[in-house]
Amino acid sequence: MARQEQMVILTRKLPDNVETRMRELFNAELNQTDVPLDRGQLIDAVERAHVLVPTVTDRIDADVIAAAGPQLKLIASFGTGVDHIDLKAARRAGIIVTNTPGVLTEDTADVVMSLILSVPRRLAEGDALVRGGEWNGWAPTGMLGHRINGKRLGIIGLGRIGQAVARRARGFGMSIHYHNRHAVHPEIEQELEATYWKDLDQMLSRMDIISINCPYTTATHHLLSRERLKKMPSHAYLVNAARGGIVDEEALTDLLASHQIAGAGLDVYENEPKVTEKLLTMRNVVLLPHIGSATIEGRLSMGDKVIINIKTFLDGHSPPDRVIDGMI
The answer to whether 65 and 93 have CB atoms below 8 angstroms apart is: yes
What are the C-alpha distances in Å from 134 to residues 28, 123, 131, 285? 52, 15, 8, 19
State the pLDDT confidence band at 63, using cuts at 50, 70 and 90. very high
Catalytic residues: 243, 272, 290
DSSP states along 220-250: TTTSB-HHHHTTS-TT-EEEE-S-GGGB-HH
Q: Are residues 242 and 130 in the same domain?
A: yes
In a domain, 166, yes or no: yes
Q: Are residues 144 and 155 in the same domain?
A: yes
Q: Are residues 184 and 264 in the same domain?
A: yes
165, containing H or E segment: helix 160-171
pLDDT at 325: 62
Per-residue pLDDT tens for 108-144? Answer: 999 999 999 999 999 999 999 999 999 999 999 999 9
Reduced to 3 states (helix: H, G, I; strand: E, B; else coil), residue 67 is: coil
pLDDT at 324: 82
- In whole numbers, what is the pLDDT of the chain averaged over residues? 95
Q: Are residues 122 and 253 in the same domain?
A: yes
Q: Are residues 93 and 155 in the same domain?
A: no
328 pLDDT exceeds 80?
A: no
In a domain, 260, yes or no: yes
The answer to whether 152 and 120 have CB atoms below 8 angstroms apart is: no
Per-residue pLDDT tens for 235-285? Answer: 999 999 999 999 999 999 999 999 999 999 999 999 999 999 999 999 999
Q: Are residues 142 and 265 in the same domain?
A: yes
How far apart, in whole angstroms, are the C-alpha atoms of residue 126 and residue 233? Answer: 24
Residue 298's region, left for phi above 0, alpha for psi from -120 to 50, else beta, is alpha
DSSP states along 69-108: -TT--EEE-SSS--TTB-HHHHHHTT-EEE---STTHHHH
In a domain, 203, yes or no: yes
Q: What angle do CA 184, 186, 188 make, to 5 degrees?
A: 70
What are the C-alpha distances in Å from 206 to residues 8, 59, 115, 202? 50, 37, 20, 7
The answer to whether 256 and 284 have CB atoms below 8 angstroms apart is: yes
How far apart, in whole angstroms, are the C-alpha atoms of residue 210 and residue 217? Answer: 19
Q: Are residues 124 and 273 in the same domain?
A: yes
- Kindly report the CATH number assigned to the domain that includes residue 61: 3.40.50.720
Residue type, 105: T
In a domain, 325, yes or no: no
- Where in the sequence is the domain holding 56, given as residue range(s)? 4-103+295-314
In a domain, 122, yes or no: yes
Q: Are residues 160 and 275 in the same domain?
A: yes
Q: How many domains is the chain built from?
A: 2
1 pLDDT exceeds 80?
A: no
How far apart, in whole angstroms, are the C-alpha atoms of residue 20 and residue 300? Answer: 12
78 pLDDT exceeds 70?
A: yes
Output b/e per residue, 258-279; b: 16+ Cβ within 10 A.
eeebbbbbbbbbbeeeebbeeb
Q: Are residues 47 and 144 in the same domain?
A: no
Q: Are residues 29 and 77 in the same domain?
A: yes
pLDDT at 4: 62
Q: Are residues 226 and 77 in the same domain?
A: no
327 pLDDT exceeds 80?
A: no
In a domain, 164, yes or no: yes
Contacts of 1 (CB under 8 A, 6+ apart): 24, 25
Q: Are residues 126 and 250 in the same domain?
A: yes
